[in-house]
Amino acid sequence: MEESRPRARSALSRWDQHGRELIVHVTKSRMQRQLNCDTCGWRKGVQFLPWLKAEEHLAEAHQATVDRTA
């Protein structure tokens, strides 16, 4: 049986034109990263460029392009 490892978790936030914050969580497990959108339930497993894929989802699906941290 395989040993359970802790998963690293972080998130990418963007805001839409109405001022709503939208978040995609990035969970790392070994070589794969799982993206989960809090708003619509979208999920995607990615191996490369998880932040870019998360940013693309927020822009295309929710028109959330404002980065208040920049």
pLDDT at 7: 64
pLDDT in tens, 2-46: 455 556 789 999 999 999 999 999 999 888 999 999 999 999 999
Question: What pTM was estimated for this model as a whole?
Answer: 0.83
In this prediction, residue 11 carries a pLDDT of 96
What is residue 1's predicted lDDT score, i.e. its pLDDT? 45
Is residue 70 domain-resident? no
Please state, in angstroms and rounded to a whole number, the distance separating the CA atoms of residues 42 and 58.
Answer: 10
12, 23 Cβ separation under 8 angstroms: yes
Domain extent, residue 43, equals: 9-62
User: Has residue 69 been placed in a domain?
Assistant: no
Name the token pair of 1.
């049986």
Count up the domains in the chain and report the number: 1
Termini Cα distance of the chain: 45
CA distances from 51 to 3, 4, 18, 69 (A): 28, 25, 23, 15
Confirm whether 2 is domain-assigned: no
pLDDT at 6: 55
Q: With 80 as the cut, is the pLDDT of residue 55 above it?
A: yes
Would 17 be classed as within a structural domain? yes
